[in-house]
Amino acid sequence: MIDTNVYMPIKSNIMEIIQHTDVEYTFRMAYKGEVKPGQFFEVSIPKYGECPISVSGIGEEFIDFTIRRVGKVTDELHKFKVGDIFFIRGPYGNGFHMDDYKNKEVIIVAGGSGLAPVKGIIDIIHQQPKDYEGFNLLVGFKSPDDILFKEELKIWNEDLKLILTVDGAKEDYRGKVGLVTQYVDDIIIKNMDNVAIIIVGPPMMMKFTVEAFLKRGVACENIWVSYERKMHCGIGKCGHCRMDDTYICLDGPVFNFSKAKHLYD
Amino acid sequence: MKIEISKEDFNKSLHRLGDEYRIYAPVAMAYKGTFSDTDSIRYKEINTLDEIEFNLKSHFSPKEVILPITQVLFYFTEDQYKEPETEKKKLLVFLRACDIHAVKRMDQIYLENGQRDPYYQEVRDTVKFVLIGCEKSYRNCFCVSMGTNKTEDYSLGIKPVGDQVLLDIKDEELNAYFFGEEKDFEMNYVTSNDIKVLIPEPHQIAKDIAEAPLWREYDERCVACGKCNFVCSTCTCFRMQDIFYKDNENNGERRRVWASCQVDGYTDMAGGHSFRKRHGDRMRYKVLHKVYDYNKRFGYHMCVGCGRCDDACPQYISFSTCVNKLHDLGKEER
């Protein structure tokens, strides 16, 4: 038989489920092993299939997946309860290299579920703020009903420089309204040469947010993005995630923008 | 060792090989062609020399022998995945030079790009190749332009001449199966094709090549059927598919199935995002992969010039013409 089958998933127990919105839950899964923020797993349920999900939290004995109910696998996943099992294989992808951001003014801009892959970085910076020259977090959601990680955002709002905005809301909403790009100029950058800007979200949001920072004079080399593409294997075989000569699953999903700007679909 | 044996003895040897090997070769399947009264040349298990179609190019490539169209990765129950039993017999595959070059491309993806693929590795460990030399170039072939018209990378070379068969045995293990008189000969290979392709140098591909108007012709002409991918000997994309049994819904199979970058849904992500909606953009994605992007990553071109994509296209789109257009475009821009 096959010695090491890279497609063989392992069983993982659901330790906790946190509901963020009607369609977005975080599943805390039993897992021991090294995982970096920005990496992803192939999550599967027999007969429904597999899908790539990035880790949104990393602990000694667990990993978190924040999963929106939008497809065949995720529809089924949302029926699962604490104690149930599903299957995972990974971690895959390069993830964020925290050394790239040390002693820099870190700015994270996340749109919607793009907050999940960067949450691990926020956790690390939150715990060791002295390792970084500064930290700003700019997060946007579609509406107040779509806000993820409400508890964490409350804590981050007290400890960190946070701008939370929604694209649109009813008149009585008291928070900030508008796209994240509107708030890019509100972030104070002390030294343009010493910033590390991480942008993750839907394709259009990333495009325009990157442009806004470039316009402010930030160099491409100081911007990182994480790309989401269809993936069937996660290990450079199925071909679906390829952009020109780059496999998002192997070489990404995290890219410095000096590389990412040349990628095309 | 190069030998000559009679057809009859060759068939006896094939018969003996059959105990240990499954033998695959291109076979003319009567009346299965695209048009009425035409044959389809496809890979099938064979027992005798006469079953092999030596005179025509196969419509489908030998890829389907070592990378099945549908392959079961696991049998599952609700909480368990089990690997399928593996094939006990080894494989002997008859194929042409371009297709042997194509195997190198499959190896690159399945064995070298990221972690090794265990299913492919297992097949690859047991497969031996029998080179069918090409006496002439076929319609749409451009192997000479791609440098894939010749190969030394085979276990056995075969050249049927009348009632005799000339064999170039390179694999010692096969020496034990074939006995004949030593006879020197050269394997056939073509030195010129009717179709010649000029591949643009990497620096001749403009950064904004995606915006070039040449792709727009394919928006309408291409019907996104994916035939070009399925007949291609170097396309290796697949999708995962879970199926369950009607009589017991908790049991089923996880399979991988060939996928096409030309067909709708290839880039669809849960939540509705997708890329390359226009067929011309898919054409661009495929063409550039074959003669530009793959080369950038691995140092040699993916396309082997077999021309099956052009043979198969129901809309008469010519890949080789498209590459030549790209080349001309690069020259203009310089």
Whether A3 shows a pLDDT value over 80: the answer reads no
H or E stretch covering A213: helix A203-215
Report the complex ipTM: 0.93
Confidence at residue B333, expressed as pLDDT on a 0 to 100 scale: 57
Confidence at residue A2, expressed as pLDDT on a 0 to 100 scale: 53
- For the structural domain made of A98-228+245-260, what CATH number should be given? 3.40.50.80
B118 to A229: CB separation less than 8 angstroms, yes or no: no
Out of A1, A8, A239, the one facing B237 most closely (by C-beta) is A239
Q: Nearest chain A Cα to B255, which residue? A: A49
The token pair at B184 is: 């020197």
> Cα dist. B272→A70, A210, B128, B225, B268 in Å?
9, 23, 44, 22, 7
Helix (H, G, I), strand (E, B) or coil at B145: helix
pLDDT < 70 regions, chain B: 333-334
Put simply, the chain A residues between 36 and 65 with a CB less than 8 A from any chain B CB are: 44, 46-51
The minimum CA-CA distance between A188 and chain B, rounded to whole Å, is: 33
Helix (H, G, I), strand (E, B) or coil at B123: helix
Out of A74, A236, A238, the one facing B270 most closely (by C-beta) is A74
Helix (H, G, I), strand (E, B) or coil at B41: strand
Cβ neighbours of B74 in A, within 8 Å: 7-8
Q: Nearest chain B Cα to A42, which residue? A: B240
Cβ neighbours of B288 in A, within 8 Å: 244
Confidence at residue B270, expressed as pLDDT on a 0 to 100 scale: 81
Q: Note the helical H segments in B131-263.
A: 143-146, 172-175, 216-221, 227-231
Hey, of A8, A43, A45, A47, which one would you mutate to test binding to chain B, going by the most B CBs within 10 A of its CB?
Answer: A47
Helix (H, G, I), strand (E, B) or coil at A13: strand
Put simply, the chain A residues between 85 and 104 with a CB less than 8 A from any chain B CB are: 85, 87
User: What are the sequence ranges of the domains in chain A?
Assistant: 10-92, 98-228+245-260
A10-92 CATH pick, 2.60.40.10, 3.30.460.80, 3.40.80.10, 2.40.30.10: 2.40.30.10
Q: Note the helical H segments in chain B.
A: 7-17, 63-66, 97-107, 118-126, 143-146, 172-175, 216-221, 227-231, 279-288, 294-298, 308-312, 319-333
What sign has the CA pseudo-torsion A44, A50, A52, A53? negative
- Where is average pLDDT lowest: A103-107, A166-170, B285-289? A166-170
H or E stretch covering A243: strand A242-243
Q: Which residue has the tokens 């839950």?
A: A25
The token pair at B196 is: 């010649």
Average pLDDT over every residue of A73-79: 91
B/e letters for A16-36, b = 16+ CB within 10 Å, e = fewer, are: eebebeeebbbbbbebeeebb
Confidence at residue B102, expressed as pLDDT on a 0 to 100 scale: 98
Q: Nearest chain A Cα to B240, which residue? A: A232
Average pLDDT over every residue of A57-69: 94
Beta strand segments in chain B, E: 2-6, 21-29, 40-45, 70-77, 80-82, 90-95, 127-132, 156-161, 164-169, 181-182, 238-244, 252-258
Out of A4, A48, A71, the one facing B118 most closely (by C-beta) is A4
Which residues have a Cβ under 8 Å from the Cβ of A147 and sit 6 or more positions away?
A20, A21, A141, A153, A164, A166
Q: Which of B7, B12, B24 is nearest to B177 (CA)?
A: B12
Out of A5, A48, A230, the one facing B242 most closely (by C-beta) is A48
> Cα dist. B187→B102, B130, B140, B325 in Å?
19, 12, 22, 34
Out of B73, B267, B297, the one facing A7 most closely (by C-beta) is B73
A237 to B113: CB separation less than 8 angstroms, yes or no: yes
Look up residue B249 and give its DSSP letter: T
Confidence at residue A31, expressed as pLDDT on a 0 to 100 scale: 96
The minimum CA-CA distance between A13 and chain B, rounded to whole Å, is: 12
Q: Nearest chain A Cα to B278, which residue? A: A265
Q: Is A142 at the interface with chain B, CB within 8 A?
A: no
Which residues have a Cβ under 8 Å from the Cβ of A17 and sit 6 or more positions away?
A25, A26, A27, A28, A80, A81, A82
> Cα dist. B332→B195, B204, B325, B328, B329 in Å?
22, 9, 11, 6, 5
Out of A46, A229, A244, the one facing B78 most closely (by C-beta) is A46
Residues A265/B267, Cβ–Cβ less than 8 Å: yes
Contact pairs from chain A to chain B, CB under 8 Å: 134
Q: Is A7 at the interface with chain B, CB within 8 A?
A: yes
B267 to A1: CB separation less than 8 angstroms, yes or no: no
The minimum CA-CA distance between B77 and chain A, rounded to whole Å, is: 7
